[in-house]
């Protein structure tokens, strides 16, 4: 899309330097539709967003080369209207603040005003003090309009961060370029605008306000014990952009603070808990398994009552308990050393995690005498705790180890 206000090329205005690392060309364009009838419209030449970008550039000074303002009407031509464009440096008071002004005839739709001030500023002074004011005549009968003028502002300058600011700057090249492109400072046309010519223009104080913040503070003790505080050396405060949100209604972090999103991996050590062994007593004399020492590998289990194991024979002994072992594990029953010394062999001994029947142990007496005893075996399991349950989780497996048939 072609720019509405074509500014003179930078190479026509400024020649290259050997230290361009510390000097850059700055080009600014902005466009705004405004309503100017009997009022005065005041605008800073650049917007807060542009000022923020200039601050980020690392440059300190701005050399103002060419500034342009283009006024285009947003209504029919030849309506007998005039506009006044005033360029102001508000570091001065009164008429000294006006460094350029132009009265333009809007009968043919649009006019372009350009100024070559050849002035050096700090970036902050340029943002705060260089303003443009626009007034209009011939709109006494204007009603119900949102905007009547389209104002386009343009600037070409040089940025510098060193005290050496002697640019190779040629104004005549700019004048020749603008003249060759048909740009005139005052078009000699006055179509149906005689009624508003020759009147006095009344320029009011600028209404552009900037937030200010102090850089110095003075304190003074008062006789009654209170403290007087006075701030001075005010400067323009950096404008903060309003928060922006994404499609998830989350605030987007401002690049003004040069923040980036990081994913932080946090390793949280959870307390390790040993799996529990659930036990249900199904006999009144049944006893829960007991871990004799803290570092014991398993639990001692007992039978419900003293039982006789005939010599050279075997007996199926009852423990009176049902267990639920953690999933993907199993329990193994092994003889205690004292039991083995008495000549008893524990046969079998693996309990699956889905078995819910009573735990019974097959014991074989290898001696020639009958043996009666109560503590039966040593129960090895990975379970860390024994917890008694009223009703362990149901399983499809029968106490004998077979699967029930579905109807």
pLDDT tens-digit map of 107-127: 888 888 888 877 888 999 999
Output the DSSP codes for 188-255: ---TT-GGGTTPPP-PPPP-----EEEEEEEEEE-TTS-EEEEEEEEEEPPPPPPPEE-TTSPEEPPG
- Listed range (127-131, 160-164, 185-189, 285-289) with the worst mean pLDDT: 185-189
In contact, 181 and 6? CB cutoff 8 Å: yes
Would you state the pLDDT for residue 20? 53
**Least reliable range by pLDDT among 76-80, 155-159, 284-288, 293-297:** 293-297
Nearest to 390 by CA among 275, 274, 282: 282
The sign of the CA dihedral 377, 378, 381, 383 is positive
Q: What is the DSSP string of 34-75?
A: E--SSS-EEEESS-HHHHHHHHHTT--EEEEEEEEEEEEESS
What distance separates the 2 farthest-apart alpha carbons in the chain? Answer: 142
Greatest mean pLDDT among 73-82, 202-211, 298-307, 392-401: 73-82
Q: Which fold has domain 11-189?
A: Jelly Rolls (2.60.120)
The conformation of residue 392, written as its DSSP 8-state character, comes to P
d(CA 237, CA 214): 9
Q: What is the pLDDT of residue 356?
A: 84
Sign of CA dihedral 362, 367, 373, 374: negative
379 near 331, Cβ under 8 Å? yes
Domain 276-388 CATH (choose: 3.90.1150.10, 3.90.76.10, 2.70.40.10, 3.30.160.270): 2.70.40.10
The strand pair at 314-324 and 330-334 is best described as unpaired
Across the chain, mean pLDDT equals 76
pLDDT surpassing 90 at residue 147 = yes
Give the tens place of pLDDT for each residue, 38-54.
Answer: 999 999 998 888 888 88
Place of tokens 């500034």: 67
**Distance between CA 59 and CA 72 in Å, rounded?**
34
Q: Tell me the domain boundaries of the chain.
A: 11-189, 276-388
* pLDDT tens-digit series, residues 238-257: 766 666 767 777 777 655 44
User: Highest mean pLDDT range out of 67-76, 114-123, 164-173?
Assistant: 67-76
| pLDDT tens digits, 306-344 | 888 888 888 888 888 888 888 888 888 877 777 777 888
Are residues 164 and 17 in contact, defined by beta-carbon separation less than 8 angstroms?
no
pLDDT band at 59 (very low <50, low <70, confident <90, very high): confident
Question: Looking at per-residue confidence, does 23 or 174 come out higher?
Answer: 23
pLDDT at 303: 83
How many whole angstroms separate alpha carbon 182 and alpha carbon 166? 30
């Amino acid at each position: 899309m072609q720019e509405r206000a074509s500014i003179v090329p930078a190479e026509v205005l400024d020649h290259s330097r050997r230290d361009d690392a510390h000097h850059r060309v700055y080009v600014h364009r902005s466009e705004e539709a405004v309503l100017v009838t009997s009022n005065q419209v005041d605008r800073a030449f650049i917007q807060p967003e542009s000022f923020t970008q200039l601050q980020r550039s690392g440059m300190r000074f701005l050399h103002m080369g060419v500034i342009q303002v283009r006024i285009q009407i947003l209504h029919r031509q030849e309506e007998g209207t005039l506009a006044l464009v005033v360029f102001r440096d508000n570091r001065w008071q009164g008429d000294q603040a006006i460094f350029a002004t132009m009265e333009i005839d809007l009968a043919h739709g649009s006019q372009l005003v350009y100024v070559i001030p050849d002035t050096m500023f700090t970036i902050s002074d340029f943002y705060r003090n260089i303003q443009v004011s626009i007034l209009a005549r011939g709109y006494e009968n204007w009603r119900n309009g949102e905007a009547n003028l389209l104002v386009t502002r343009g600037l070409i300058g040089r940025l510098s961060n060193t005290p050496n600011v002697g640019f190779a700057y040629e104004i005549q090249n700019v004048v020749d370029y603008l003249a060759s492109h048909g740009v005139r400072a005052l078009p000699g046309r006055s179509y149906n605008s005689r009624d508003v010519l020759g009147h006095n223009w009344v320029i009011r104080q600028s209404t552009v306000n900037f937030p200010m913040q102090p850089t110095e503070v003075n304190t003074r003790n008062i006789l009654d014990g209170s403290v007087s505080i006075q701030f001075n050396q005010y400067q323009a405060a950096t404008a903060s952009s309003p928060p922006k949100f994404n499609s998830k209604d989350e605030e987007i972090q401002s690049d003004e603070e040069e923040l980036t999103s990081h994913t932080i991996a946090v390793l949280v050590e959870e307390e390790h808990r040993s799996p529990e062994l659930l036990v249900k007593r199904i006999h009144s004399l049944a006893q829960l398994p007991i871990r004799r020492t803290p570092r014991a590998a398993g639990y001692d289990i007992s039978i419900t009552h003293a039982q006789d194991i005939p010599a050279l024979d075997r007996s199926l002994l009852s423990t009176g308990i049902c267990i639920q072992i953690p999933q993907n594990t199993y329990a193994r029953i092994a003889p205690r050393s004292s039991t083995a010394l008495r000549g008893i062999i524990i046969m079998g001994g693996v309990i699956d995690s889905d078995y819910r029947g009573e735990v019974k142990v097959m014991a074989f007496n290898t001696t020639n005498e009958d043996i009666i005893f109560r503590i039966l075996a040593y129960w090895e399991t990975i379970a860390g705790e024994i917890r008694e349950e009223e009703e362990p989780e149901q399983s499809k497996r029968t106490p004998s180890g077979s699967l029930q048939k579905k109807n």
